[in-house]
Structures are given as structure tokens and as C-alpha cells.
Structure 1
Amino acid sequence: MAANQRIVFIGDSITQAGRFEDSEQIGYGYVRYIKDYFAINQPEELPFIVNKGINGNRIPDLEKRWEVDVLSLQPDLVSISIGINDVWRQLDRLELEQVTPAIFKGIYDRLLAQVKMHTEASIFLMEPTIIEESIEAKGNILLKDYVAVIHELAEKYGATIVPTHQVFTEYLQKENHQVLTTDGVHMNTAGNMLMAQTWLKTYKKCKVGK
């Protein structure tokens, strides 16, 4: 990995995870776990990590800040985690204008096209994790179409999938599985560990920056 590689993580509250209360602006979620992994295992090649998660964001919110929070930073790798709120708002905020899979795809497509056009960044697309810790929950059923969109766009743009939805749903089917969230969506320490582990396995498999 190239020294001082710049990695930008962008997404919603799962990515934000207290970054505004953290002096390093990294937060206390999966991004922190990833940063600490690099700090312990390869301090001589420590990447510069930027957390741009914002609580409550859906894909239209990312589009509004894409230039400032991604393109202007000229990342070597951009990791995107979005989709949970696009589905969750269909369950708890019915009065809002909803983000259908078609709208989600159209906006996400534009964002990825801009990354390809204006940067040299590798792209990691993180699958949205879970909505409730049951694979049969309505939120998880609705998420399937959004996960499919992400896979389609990854193929189109040569992006790398971080299979967080797959890993979470597989984990929930194991005997004696542990609780992963505080409220069905936001991660506890175990959930953040699982997200970070999945991301790092993907990263090492791709050998990004080598």
C-alpha cells in the first residue's frame, strides 16, 4: 500500500458514529476500528482516513455534498455506505418523499460517474447492513432491491463490493449469535467489529494500493 494513501468513508449515522464528538473526527464506529487496525499493523504506511458520515443521510443527501466531501478531497479510495435510511424512512417516515430503488440507482449512478471522471480513486461499495436483527423483517426484505442495485453499479463502474449485508444476514443465522445493534440499525461494538472485519477482508483481498 502506498504511504499516506487517502481513504474517504462517506455514509449515514453508521459511518458518522460520533465523529463530531471525536477530536480526530474519526468517530467510534467501524471507521475507527479500521483506522486502529492500520495503526497497529502497518504504522509505517498509515493511510490518511477521513470520515464523512452524516446522521440521517439518504442517497439524495450524499449528492448534495458530493463535490465538497468526496471529489474535492481527491481520495485514493472512496468507501460508500448508504441505503439504510433510504429504506428505513419507508417504514418510519411515510410522509417523506421516498427514495425508490429506481431513484436510488439513478442518483448513485451519477455519483459514481463523477468519481470516475474527476478522481483516480478505487471505489468500495458497502452493502447496507440490516434493519432489525431478523432476516425476515420487512426492512431486510425491502433492502434486497437496493443491494441488487449496488451490485449492478459495482459491475458497471469496476467497483468493489464490501458484502456487509450478506455477512450480517449469514451471521444472524448462526447458533448463539450475538446482538449486533443497539436498536436494529445502529451498531454496537460487535456490529462495528463485523463491519470493520468485512471491510478489511475485502481490502486485503483486493490489495488496494499495491
Structure 2
Amino acid sequence: MNLGKRLVLIGDSITEWGKNEDPEGIGRGYVRLIHDYLRVTEPEKNYEIFNKGIGGNRITDLEARWQEDVLDLMPDTVSISIGINDVWRQLDQPELEQVAPDKFEQKYRKLLSQIKAATHANIILMEPTIINEEINSEGNQKLKAYVEIVNKLAGEFDTLLVPTHQAFIEYLQKDSRYYLTTDGVHMNSAGNLLMANQWIKAVKNL
């Protein structure tokens, strides 16, 4: 895949991870690892990489800032990682207005349509990762529908798909007992490496 020069990676706190304390605004999560990999392996391309993750975001929050944080930047590549909070809020804040799977799909499709209409950007969809490092946790069971929607939309819009959820599940099935998150959701350095590795593999395999 020719990523172009300008890359926007957008999502929630998993994407944001440390960007507000970083003078470069890249953070210390999977976006940092992708940034460093690209800058080291293809220095001549002088990539511009924008971390547009914001903690707590759901698909509805992305919709509210889509114009400013994606379309106005005229990116060559847009990478989206969203869906964890759409499920997690159902568990930890059930009093909120929730984003059910059908609403998630409708909002996501709208955002992808806007990219297609306004830019020539490559689109990369990352599956939402995990909620608790237990394969059969309530969060992971609820998450399945959202992962399926991301896969469906990747096919519908002919985008690159990064099988992040699948990779985490396969890791958990091996029962290494080495954790990838700090709290079941937010990545430690190993979890960020898994995410970045899946992203890079997906891009290189095209």
C-alpha cells in the first residue's frame, strides 16, 4: 500500500495513549511504534503522522469531530480504531444513552462514506481489541457484534482490515499468562506492540 505522506490515526484512549505529554503529539502507544517504524524504514518519505485519539471516545464522538480531525487535514491514509467504549459504556455506565450495534454500523458507514466523498485517502480499519483478558468475558461477548460490523464495512468499502481482535483472541488462547493490558482494556507495551505489528503486517502484505 502506498500510504502517501499524511497519515491520520484516529480513535479512543488506546490510540491517544500518552500523546498529550509528548512534544511530538504521537504518544507512547501503538501509534508511536507505527510512527517510528515508518520513519526508520522509509526515512525518505518524511511521513506526517497525526494522532487523533481522544480518551473515552465512541463512534458518536468521532462523528462530532470528523470534519476537523479527519477531512480538513486532507489525509492520504486514515486509520480508524474504535468500538471499545461503545461496548464498555454498556458495562460500566449503563445509565448513558448507549451505542447499540445497529447505531454503531450506521454511524461508522456514514463516516466512511464521507472519507470516500471528500478525499482519495486509503482507509485502514482496525478491529476493536478486547475488554478483559478473558476470552469469554461479558465485554468480549458483546464486542463480537462490533468486530463483525468492522469486518463487514471493510468489505463493503474495500478498505484494509487489521485483525486486531482476532490477534488478541489467538494470543489469549495460547494461555501464556503474560498480560497485554494494564486493566483489561488499555495496552501495556506488549499490547501496543501486538497492535502495531498487526497494522504493519496488514500494510506490508498488500
* TMscore range, shorter length: over 0.9
Q: Is the 8 A contact 2:3 2:76 kept in 1?
A: no
Partner of 1:99: 99
Query: 1:46 deviation in Å?
Result: 3.2
Q: Is the 8 A contact 1:59 1:82 kept in 2?
A: yes
Q: Percent identity over the alignment?
A: 58
Give secondary structure in 1 for the equivalent of 2:173.
coil
Partner of 1:47: 47
Partner of 1:22: 22
In the comparison of the two structures, how many residue pairs are matched? 206
Partner of 1:163: 163
**Structure 1 stretch 153-162 or stretch 183-192: which is displaced more?**
153-162
TM-score (norm 1): 0.95
Whole-angstrom distance in 2 between the partners of 1:2 and 1:130 = 29
Whole-angstrom distance in 1 between the partners of 2:204 and 2:177 = 26
Q: Is the 8 A contact 1:4 1:48 kept in 2?
A: no
Query: Moved runs in structure 1, 4+ residues, more than 4 A?
Result: 1-4
Query: 1:181 deviation in Å?
Result: 0.2
Whole-angstrom distance in 2 between the partners of 1:3 and 1:81 = 17
User: Do structure 1's residue 38 and structure 2's residue 38 form an aligned pair?
Assistant: yes
Partner of 1:65: 65
User: Do structure 1's residue 188 and structure 2's residue 191 form an aligned pair?
Assistant: no
Q: What code does the residue aligned with 1:57 have?
A: N
Partner of 2:113: 113
Query: 1:129 deviation in Å?
Result: 0.3
Query: Which ranges in structure 1 are unaligned for 5 or more consecutive residues?
Result: none
Partner of 2:153: 153
TM-score (norm 2): 0.97
Query: Which ranges in structure 2 are unaligned for 5 or more consecutive residues?
Result: none
Change (3 A) 1:44 1:90: same
Provide the aligned C-alpha RMSD in A: 1.2
Change (3 A) 1:3 1:75: closer
Partner of 2:205: 205
Q: Is the 8 A contact 2:3 2:77 kept in 1?
A: no
